[in-house]
């Protein structure tokens, strides 16, 4: 595995010998690493509290707090940080103790240049690998939920296979709960960046006043509460993929900042003046109609065109009902195993009822319901176990009054009447009506045009 760009890593050297610090700083910075030096364990710990580091080179014998105690405190601050112990008088017993306390390796003085660089590269490769394993394990369950054999999903799979190996940026659209993050992860895992970081940013969940700090990081003291320097998500995603989920909910100010980074590839942390260069593949996701957001003045048109290089649309679950039985089987098996139950089954009638349901919350709603059914129901899940909104009785239809109209004519009449009723209930608010109907606003506009539905003039 090749280590990432050295300029991405920050290394702290803690040694009371100034010549040693100066030599290691010169050697490591010559390779492109960012290096800070400290002369004692106490000052090193204070530096670690204020700045993020990937690796510490730590002298065993220090004035005041010795290396072993400093190592313990470092691991208490950040158990994932790598530490290489250094000593000119170390023993095997010292090395064993250090490794038991979490040190990666132990090298002796005088320090050979190649030995130092090899240890540093290996420790940083290990740190990167462990981070990727954690991200992979975290996403393993999510990735397994991309289930479906319907034609709409087959088209999604084909798009992923075509797009993933390229460097093209992707805009994933679809209603909430359709699985936009799953597609983003699939694109990442099938790309040349698969062994690099995958960083998800939920733009809708971050307060407007904090989003700049979240995306680009901040320096210590940049604002009240900034007690230490922090890397932003773009910095964390360097050489990998960043997934900007719910990009349509980002403020205009943040949109301008993001556009600049997308155009130049560089930025500065909040409160800082150092330019940071990053190499990221951008995948964005939204449940909004961005063309309508642009028309309403809520989304930048130039940012839309920058992101929308390759569009992938995820269909709502109601448009791929054939996949519902597969998803049910998948989630029942998963949650029975998750909660330690014997395998449960769903009756055909229950499957049919679930297949007819409109699923406004899409796959996420189905998943949550199956977990509830697995926990609360007996060995066989039947229609009586289903929620009232799924069990509800159908309205009685007077078939004699329908005459000789075709099924298509009847369906269109019912749809037109229902859309008209919902528009009137919502005072002709297109956005709110489309949300309640579970369709895109552009789709609602098309249906209104097809059915000649017009807002009455006052």
| H-helix segments, 243-387 | 252-264, 290-295, 301-307, 324-339, 348-356, 362-376
Q: Decide if 139 is inside a domain.
A: no
Mean per-residue pLDDT, 426-433 = 84
For position 19, which CATH number holds? 3.40.50.2300
pLDDT band at 457 (very low <50, low <70, confident <90, very high): low
Q: What is the pLDDT of residues 6-27, one digit of tens each?
A: 877 899 999 999 999 999 999 9
DSSP strand pairing (310-313 vs 380-381): unpaired
Q: Decide if 232 is inside a domain.
A: yes
Q: Decide if 1 is inside a domain.
A: no
To which residue do tokens 């540093």 refer?
120
Q: Decide if 455 is inside a domain.
A: no
Q: Decide if 457 is inside a domain.
A: no
Full domain range(s) for residue 347? 318-391
pLDDT of residue 174: 94
Identify the sign of the CA torsion 323, 174, 286, 424. negative
Q: Decide if 351 contacts 321 (C-beta within 8 A).
A: no
Q: What is the tally of structural domains in the chain?
A: 4
Q: What is the pLDDT of residues 243-280, one digit of tens each?
A: 999 999 998 888 998 999 999 988 989 888 888 999 99
Q: Decide if 136 is inside a domain.
A: no
DSSP state, residue 435: H
pLDDT of residue 393: 38
The reply to whether 413 and 369 lie within a common domain is no
Q: What is the pLDDT of residues 294-312, one digit of tens each?
A: 999 999 999 999 999 999 9
The reply to whether 110 and 18 lie within a common domain is yes
Q: Decide if 60 contacts 94 (C-beta within 8 A).
A: yes
The reply to whether 338 and 310 lie within a common domain is no
pLDDT of residue 244: 96
The reply to whether 190 and 258 lie within a common domain is yes
Structure tokens at 425: 């209930």
The reply to whether 294 and 351 lie within a common domain is no
pLDDT of residue 134: 55
The reply to whether 90 and 154 lie within a common domain is no
Most distant CA pair in the chain: distance in Å? 100
For position 440, which CATH number holds? 1.10.10.60
For position 364, which CATH number holds? 1.10.8.60
pLDDT of residue 398: 45
End-to-end CA distance of the chain: 69
Q: Decide if 421 is inside a domain.
A: yes
The reply to whether 194 and 266 lie within a common domain is yes
The reply to whether 170 and 307 lie within a common domain is yes
């Amino acid at each position: 595995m090749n280590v990432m760009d050295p300029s991405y890593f920050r290394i702290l050297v803690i040694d009371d010998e100034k010549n040693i610090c100066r030599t290691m700083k010169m050697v490591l910075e010559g390779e492109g690493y960012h290096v800070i030096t400290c002369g004692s364990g106490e000052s090193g710990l204070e530096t670690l509290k204020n700045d993020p580091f990937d690796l510490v080179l730590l002298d065993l014998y220090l004035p005041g707090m010795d290396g072993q105690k400093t190592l313990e405190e470092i691991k208490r601050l950040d158990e994932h940080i790598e530490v290489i112990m250094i000593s000119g008088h170390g023993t095997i017993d010292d090395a064993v103790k250090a490794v038991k306390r979490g040190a990666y390796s132990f090298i002796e003085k005088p320090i050979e240049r190649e030995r130092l660089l090899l240890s540093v590269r290996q420790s940083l490769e290990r740190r990167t690998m462990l981070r990727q394993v954690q991200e992979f394990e975290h996403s393993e369950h999510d990735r397994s939920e991309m289930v479906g054999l319907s034609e709409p999903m087959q088209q999604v799979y084909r798009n992923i296979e075509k797009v993933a190996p390229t460097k093209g940026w992707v805009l994933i659209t679809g209603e909430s709960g359709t699985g936009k993050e799953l597609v983003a992860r699939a694109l990442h895992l099938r790309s040349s960046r698969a062994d690099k970081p995958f960083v998800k940013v939920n733009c809708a969940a971050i307060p407007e006043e904090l989003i700049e700090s979240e995306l680009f990081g901040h320096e210590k003291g940049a604002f009240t509460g900034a007690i230490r320097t922090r890397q932003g998500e773009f910095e964390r995603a360097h050489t990998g993929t960043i997934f900007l989920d719910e990009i349509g909910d980002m403020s205009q100010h943040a949109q301008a900042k993001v556009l600049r980074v997308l155009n130049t590839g560089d930025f500065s942390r909040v409160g800082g003046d150092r330019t940071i260069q990053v190499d990221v593949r951008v995948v964005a996701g939204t449940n909004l109609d961005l063309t309508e957001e642009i028309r309403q003045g809520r989304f930048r048109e130039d940012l839309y065109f920058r992101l929308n290089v390759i569009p992938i649309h995820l269909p709502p679950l109601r448009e791929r009902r054939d996949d519902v039985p597969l998803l049910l089987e998948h989630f029942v098996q998963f949650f029975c195993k998750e909660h330690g139950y014997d395998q449960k089954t769903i009756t055909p009638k229950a499957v049919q009822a679930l297949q007819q349901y409109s699923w406004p919350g899409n796959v996420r709603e189905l998943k949550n319901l199956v977990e509830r059914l697995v926990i609360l129901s007996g060995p066989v899940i039947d229609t009586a176990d289903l929620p009232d909104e799924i069990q509800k009785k159908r309205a009685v239809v007077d078939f004699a009054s329908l005459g000789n109209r075709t099924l298509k004519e009847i369906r269109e009449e019912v749809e037109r009447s229902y859309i008209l009723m919902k528009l009137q209930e919502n005072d002709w608010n297109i956005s709110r009506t489309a949300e309640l109907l579970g369709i895109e606003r552009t789709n609602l506009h098309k249906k209104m045009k097809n059915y000649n539905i017009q807002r009455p003039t006052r």
